[in-house]
Structure 1
Amino acid sequence: MTARIGHLVTSGTFSLDGGTWDVDNNVYLVGDGAEAIVIDAAHDADAILAALDGRTLRAIVCTHAHNDHIDAAPALAAATGARILLHPDDLPLWQRTHPDHHPDGELTDGQVLTIAGVDLTVLHTPGHAPGAVCLHAPDLGTVFTGDTLFAGGPGATGRSFSHFPTIIDSIRDRLLTLPPDTVVRTGHGDTTTIGAEAPHLEDWIKRGH
């Protein structure tokens, strides 16, 4: 069966540094009719289970450990037996949300996750969070960027654990080098492409200073 990308939007809150905001999160399911992985188990384990529609969940992949991207991960793991994968640099953030539940495995730069015959390469892209990663699936013509790159610019870097020069380096060196027609599937909001975002790098840098 051919691999495909499923998408749903879940709603909840994001909390950090004493503030809480309402957010809508993109949740992606990559797989075929038999198996899938979930990228960012946000807010609503039941909705994600419904979207799986009986398929075997092979892994729950966290692009980073802000609470709005991981709050449903333990419940989804308990319901499916899937392993939760996170870059170790984001463990301090993870532990703020789930102090009693440790991820099951680590994501590392260059690691390849294979699902339904499709390879997703882990790109460590710190800046929005220390352990932020993107997942590049060239056979699907897409990259899942979490909160590292959005339609219109970089993810936020004004809160704890974030750093603007680092996210710019990550975007320039790890993402804008991908083919221009690569579809960027973001953690919030609309998709874009590498080609649409690349010309604006210098504008983002000026805006960030």
Structure 2
Amino acid sequence: MIGHLVTSGTFTLDGGSWDVDNNVWLVGDDREVVVIDAAHDAEAIAAAVGDRRLTAIVCTHAHNDHVNAAAALADRLGAPIWLHPADEVLWEMTYPDRSPDAPLADDQEIVVAGTVLRVMHTPGHAPGAVCLYAPELETVFSGDTLFGGGPGATGRSYSDFGTIIDSLRTKVLTLPPETVVRTGHGESTEIGTEAPHLAEWIARGH
């Protein structure tokens, strides 16, 4: 039900540029699939989709390294791009002449191959950041909101530490402890591994 590939490219913001490896997640069955975060390499992602119907390209947020293959993939496979409207300011940095196809909203449900992905608006790393919770799969796709060891970065434009902590405290870390956290970069973790450290993160962030 869950596919994964790692793509490599560049993250650019605030005049800086960094080489990054991104996790691209696919959820579906042998007939249809959703792509979460079309990063860097539309050809490789299309190959992972194969002959399945791509029903949506869902963006956890609009930093360029998470969306820079979205338009090419959408054009190639005819799928809509979904993004929370609060991240359009970041989206326009990569795509000034193209808008996302549909808005994401808190508590929205995306269904693919009978599996529900529940949208959780989790601002902080970016104003329109979302996590996608799949209860049946005991998984949350956290984008750059939560990693093994702490919250996503909040040191650049359009991010805020207090906001990401609120998102984690009130939404993400309330998920069942056995929930696997499939992140935007690096290794997966579990809610039960990360939740006990919230106070440490708050202290570290101030």
CA distance in 1, matches of 2:196, 2:71: 39
CA distance in 2, matches of 1:81, 1:182: 32
Q: Is 1:79 aligned to 2:76, yes or no?
A: yes
How big is each residue's C-alpha offset from its partner over 1:173-196, in whole Å with a ceiling of 9 and x where there is no partner? Answer: 101110000000000000000000
If the length of structure 1 is used for normalisation, what is the TM-score?
Answer: 0.98
Q: Is 1:142 aligned to 2:139, yes or no?
A: yes
CA distance in 1, matches of 2:50, 2:80: 18
If the length of structure 2 is used for normalisation, what is the TM-score?
Answer: 1.00
Identity %: 69
Segments of structure 1 that go 5 or more residues without pairing to the other structure are: none
Task: State which of 115, 120, 126 in structure 1 corresponds to 2:117.
Answer: 120
- Aligned ranges for residues 1-209 of structure 1 at < 5 Å? 4-209=1-206
Moved over 3 A (4+): none
CA distance in 2, matches of 1:26, 1:101: 24
Count of residues in Structure 1 that have an aligned counterpart in Structure 2: 206
Segments of structure 2 that go 5 or more residues without pairing to the other structure are: none
CA distance in 1, matches of 2:40, 2:98: 16
How big is each residue's C-alpha offset from its partner over 1:46-92, in whole Å with a ceiling of 9 and x where there is no partner? Answer: 00000011110000000000000000000000001100000000000
Superposed CA RMSD in Å reads 0.3
**AA in 2 matched with 1:45:** A
CA distance in 2, matches of 1:82, 1:165: 35
**AA in 1 matched with 2:101:** D
**AA in 2 matched with 1:167:** I
CA distance in 1, matches of 2:150, 2:35: 24
Shift of 1:101: 1.1
CA distance in 1, matches of 2:176, 2:94: 36
